[in-house]
Structure 1
Amino acid sequence: MFDGALLKDAKHIHFIGVGGSGMFPIVEILLAQGFQISGSDNNESDTLALERAMGVHVLPLGQRAENIAGADLIVYTAAIMDDNPELLAARQSGIPTVERAEVLGYLTAQYANCICVCGTHGKTTVTAMLTQMLLESGLDPTAVIGGKLPLIGGNGRSGKSDLMVCEACEFADHFLQLSPDVAVILNVDADHLEYFGSLENIIHSFHRFAEMTSRTLIVNGSDPNTMQAIEGIPGKEVITFGWEEACDYAPANLRHEGGVVSSFDLRCHGRTLTRLTLNIPGRHNILNAVAACAAAIHAGVPVTALAEFLGHFHGAGRRFEVLGKVRGVTIADDYAHHPAEIAATLKAAKELDFRRIWAVFQPFTYSRTQLLMDDFAAALSIADQVVMSEIMGAREKNTYGVHTGQLAEKIPGSVWFPAFPEIAAYVMEHAQEGDLVITLGCGDVYKCAKIMLCQ
């Protein structure tokens, strides 16, 4: 457990891997609290550019022992290896080091009303939706979001109220570091099996997270794994959302317009509260919106304002984000990196008015690629054309002996290339006017989309 005294005694905090999406909101909150922040990373990114503009001292790319000079506290991400030169130097010098999830946990404990949004899929979208509704209602929350929310120009903010909205990631049980007062559990699925080992272990971790929640559980009543995760937990208010009328909150009278815009009645205990319009595609996002509205109402957002606030939401960054058009070909980008997420995104794309759907996929981590390979093949096969890059290993070494070619063999007609320029050239040579090209993955595949926009 993180010793808060370390933060109280620190003036200069250095972040190893400062460009990570999970680092950015913590950096922003600590900057607002008056800390001097420096950081390093190996790859240039939009996040680094934002941090420089905010006043973060981002060191030249690369990780070197001398980068930690003058720091009172070192924060690192789970992706940092033990042999990282900055982490080694910090430990050898005696400078306190702490993983980012522990710092986030300490920060969540500082807020009297901390809403943590967890689940295998949909966390960022729901956290962003909820943040937007709370902000527009004047509640001034602090927010930690896994993707960029256009309303705030980033994926985090420091508010002045006692309310916090925090995306809670289950990877390596990081969410067990947090202090939730309200937990929103969207779904529970098999992921991060290199750590959890089985779906049963994942359900158990979500059970522990629900037990830690001090007051209220807002949960997916349509998801058996979620309902199993909250079994036997006494003393909590439980609010359900789902597709069935038996849930406390449910959508009804769904209507779709052109695949992008959906409208539906939000019902509570069988009574229609309001009619809502959703400006992001996909059936899965209707349930995400219901979950966000349930949490917003619980936090004090007026029901009469939900339609207006949700109508202003057009998605979070890297969540079916349309980036532009080149010679009649639409280029979009999505963070989907699990088979269920990829399938949901591609099904949503198929509902839109495009000639063909191209999936440009960057597999992330060797373990996930190996353990879920058949599921990836089935999900990607929804697209008309599939192009892939080599696997981004991130925090792992390839002890599995897996490579993208093995996945390509399971997807008829798919191709793969080692580098983004090759992928971009191939796609833009073969894509035709009226096609949609969507880059998929949680690594840096968005850079491939940007290359295509310049073709």
Structure 2
Amino acid sequence: MQEKKIETIKRVYFIGIGGIGMSALARYFHSKGIAVSGYDKTETALTKALVNEGIPVHYEDNPERAPRDADWIVFTPAIPADHQELNNYKTGGYPVMKRSEVLQKITESSFNICVAGTHGKTTTTTMIAHLLRDSGYGCNAFLGGISANYDTNFWSSEKDVCVIEADEYDRSFLKLSPDIAVVTAIDPDHLDIYGSAEQVRQAFADFAQRLKRGGLLIRKLGIGRELKAERMWQYSLQNDSANIYAANIKIQDGGYVFDVVLPAQLIEGLQLNMGGMHNIENMVAAIAVAGSLNIDPEKIRTAVASFKGVKRRFEYIIKEKNLVFIDDYAHHPEELKALINSVKTLFPQKKCTLIFQPHLYSRTKDFAQDFAAVLSTVNRTVLLPVYPAREQPIPGVESNTIAELMEGADPVLMTKEALLKWVEDDFSKNREQEFGEVIITAGAGDIDKMVAPVKDRLLNRK
């Protein structure tokens, strides 16, 4: 079957439609009036939202339920090799492609702002898209998280500008052609794909080379010296040797007030209403993009103040004097370190309990020592079983692999089921009353499903 051009397709079918990146693409095609449907393994809040928006989703791998008149089949690499629907389409000669290939086709003729990084990219992408939308500049947004402002990971605009989260997993970001490329971090990750830290760095260098002629590279100061471009800005939290940086940072009500120094101007009195010093740094990168597009500083200031964050990125679930509950997607040691440091800065007198669900056996194995070191810096750690995602178990690798390396700490290992009883009894009855306590849930697996029941138990036992 000959592949149809994007302008002529009438029906697109998604295998793995509930993924954060896949659902953004599904919403894109749906917004264009194209018939969209899909399969996923389990029903989630995201698949329910898609159904409510008019996109049918089923949860059974059944070729009989898959449309035969689909013009494009889009699948996620997380789908197993023996998936019947996917294999039926492949043997039937249908145009089958990965999400990254579809993004490439969508963005071939648009002005693209692509945000890459082993962490920080989802928040930074969402910040940029919000600044452009709120200021009236306009953009199409393809996000790797749910924007709290708009309760979605996609929105469209008549303006031919795309803000895209550029995912390094499976080298997907090498399909994109940025006009502006932002790089937030290059820590070793996805070593099951890349094999070594050097190969990760090389992939990011290759991404920078994808910039269109005359394009702008905005990279964090001190990372990726092999990332080069004719036009390059560097940003930093507050190092004045960067082109763009924050100054005069003050903590205010769990958020911050600060100034941003740009190459040709100073924007004073910015107010960011979310926690985490790393989020000031992410916003500095977003303001750098807005500044490069000559967006009015007053509109930037207004947009920063109205930014509500990204769900599961330093998200306040409970914020009271004696009890703070934060949920975060952190699943890499560097992300956990930034999360913990931010909590200690914002709430220096409060005890901190962190409930962590390791994500992937390979990542647990590769970074066990680093996880142990950073988790040992909180008052109390609870470790849930490893969330396998796309992987098969690795013999001898489990949450206890981290626990055994946590010298001087006394981590608690328990199942998700046991966790709820522990929160209701042990934690709630024995928590710090005088200065209060911060409890954090962190991880990229299905720990997000625990947030609502944990919140209920905390509020019922105050």
Match of 2:413 among 416, 435, 439: 416
For residues 360-386 of structure 1, give each alpha carbon's deviation from its aligned partner in whole angstroms, at most 9, with x where no partner exists: 111111111100111111122222211
Instruction: After TM superposition, give the deviation of residue 278 of structure 1 in Å.
Output: 1.7
Distance 1:191 1:63 in 2: 31
Equivalent pairs counted in the alignment come to: 444
Q: Describe the SS at the equivalent of 1:430.
A: helix
Distance 1:302 1:34 in 2: 34
For residues 399-433 of structure 1, give each alpha carbon's deviation from its aligned partner in whole angstroms, at most 9, with x where no partner exists: 45411122122232112223x22222213322236
What is the aligned partner in structure 2 of residue 356 from structure 1?
351
Report the residue type matching 1:200 in the other structure: E
Match of 1:366 among 350, 354, 361: 361
**2:248 is equivalent to residue 253 of structure 1:** yes
Report the residue type matching 1:323 in the other structure: I
What is the aligned partner in structure 2 of residue 56 from structure 1?
55
Distance 1:253 1:379 in 2: 28
What is the aligned partner in structure 1 of residue 10 from structure 2?
11
For residues 282-328 of structure 1, give each alpha carbon's deviation from its aligned partner in whole angstroms, at most 9, with x where no partner exists: 22112111110000111232122222110111211110112237996
Q: Describe how 1:121-270 pairs up with structure 2 within 5 A.
A: 121-214=119-212, 215-223=214-222, 225-230=223-228, 233=229, 236-242=230-236, 243-257=238-252, 260-269=254-263
Please tell me whether the aligned partners of residues 221 and 235 of structure 2 are also in contact (alpha carbons under 8 angstroms): yes
* TM-score relative to the length of structure 1: 0.92
Q: CA RMSD in A?
A: 2.1
Q: Structure 1 stretch 264-273 or stretch 138-147: which is displaced more?
A: 264-273
Q: Describe the SS at the equivalent of 2:224.
A: helix
What is the aligned partner in structure 2 of residue 378 from structure 1?
373
Distance 2:183 2:171 in 1: 15
Distance 1:272 1:178 in 2: 32
What is the aligned partner in structure 2 of residue 91 from structure 1?
90
Distance 1:257 1:142, change over 3 A: same
Distance 2:393 2:6 in 1: 36
Please tell me whether the aligned partners of residues 388 and 416 of structure 1 are also in contact (alpha carbons under 8 angstroms): yes
Please tell me whether the aligned partners of residues 3 and 71 of structure 2 are also in contact (alpha carbons under 8 angstroms): no
Report the residue type matching 2:329 in the other structure: Y
Match of 2:440 among 418, 438, 441: 438
**2:339 is equivalent to residue 340 of structure 1:** no
Please tell me whether the aligned partners of residues 367 and 400 of structure 1 are also in contact (alpha carbons under 8 angstroms): no
Please tell me whether the aligned partners of residues 131 and 165 of structure 1 are also in contact (alpha carbons under 8 angstroms): yes
Please tell me whether the aligned partners of residues 314 and 328 of structure 2 are also in contact (alpha carbons under 8 angstroms): yes
Distance 1:327 1:453, change over 3 A: farther
Please tell me whether the aligned partners of residues 274 and 304 of structure 1 are also in contact (alpha carbons under 8 angstroms): no
Please tell me whether the aligned partners of residues 425 and 452 of structure 1 are also in contact (alpha carbons under 8 angstroms): no
What is the aligned partner in structure 2 of residue 42 from structure 1?
41
**2:109 is equivalent to residue 110 of structure 1:** yes
Please tell me whether the aligned partners of residues 357 and 437 of structure 1 are also in contact (alpha carbons under 8 angstroms): yes
Distance 1:382 1:12, change over 3 A: same
Report the residue type matching 1:350 in the other structure: K
Instruction: After TM superposition, give the deviation of residue 435 of structure 1 in Å.
Output: 2.4
**Which runs of 5 or more residues in structure 2 are unaligned?**
458-462
Distance 1:159 1:355, change over 3 A: same
Distance 2:316 2:52 in 1: 25
Instruction: After TM superposition, give the deviation of residue 79 of structure 1 in Å.
Output: 1.0
Report the residue type matching 1:46 in the other structure: A
Distance 1:332 1:428, change over 3 A: farther
Distance 1:452 1:328, change over 3 A: farther
What is the aligned partner in structure 1 of residue 25 from structure 2?
26
Please tell me whether the aligned partners of residues 114 and 163 of structure 1 are also in contact (alpha carbons under 8 angstroms): yes
Q: Describe the SS at the equivalent of 1:238.
A: strand
Q: Describe how 1:312-323 pairs up with structure 2 within 5 A.
A: 312-323=306-317
**2:423 is equivalent to residue 427 of structure 1:** yes
Instruction: After TM superposition, give the deviation of residue 8 of structure 1 in Å.
Output: 4.4
* TM-score relative to the length of structure 2: 0.91
Report the residue type matching 1:427 in the other structure: V
Q: Percent identity?
A: 32
Instruction: After TM superposition, give the deviation of residue 275 of structure 1 in Å.
Output: 2.8
Please tell me whether the aligned partners of residues 133 and 296 of structure 1 are also in contact (alpha carbons under 8 angstroms): yes
Distance 1:18 1:380 in 2: 34
Distance 2:281 2:173 in 1: 22
Please tell me whether the aligned partners of residues 322 and 331 of structure 1 are also in contact (alpha carbons under 8 angstroms): yes
Instruction: After TM superposition, give the deviation of residue 147 of structure 1 in Å.
Output: 1.0
Distance 1:163 1:271 in 2: 24
For residues 87-109 of structure 1, give each alpha carbon's deviation from its aligned partner in whole angstroms, at most 9, with x where no partner exists: 12222333322111111121122
Please tell me whether the aligned partners of residues 3 and 72 of structure 2 are also in contact (alpha carbons under 8 angstroms): no
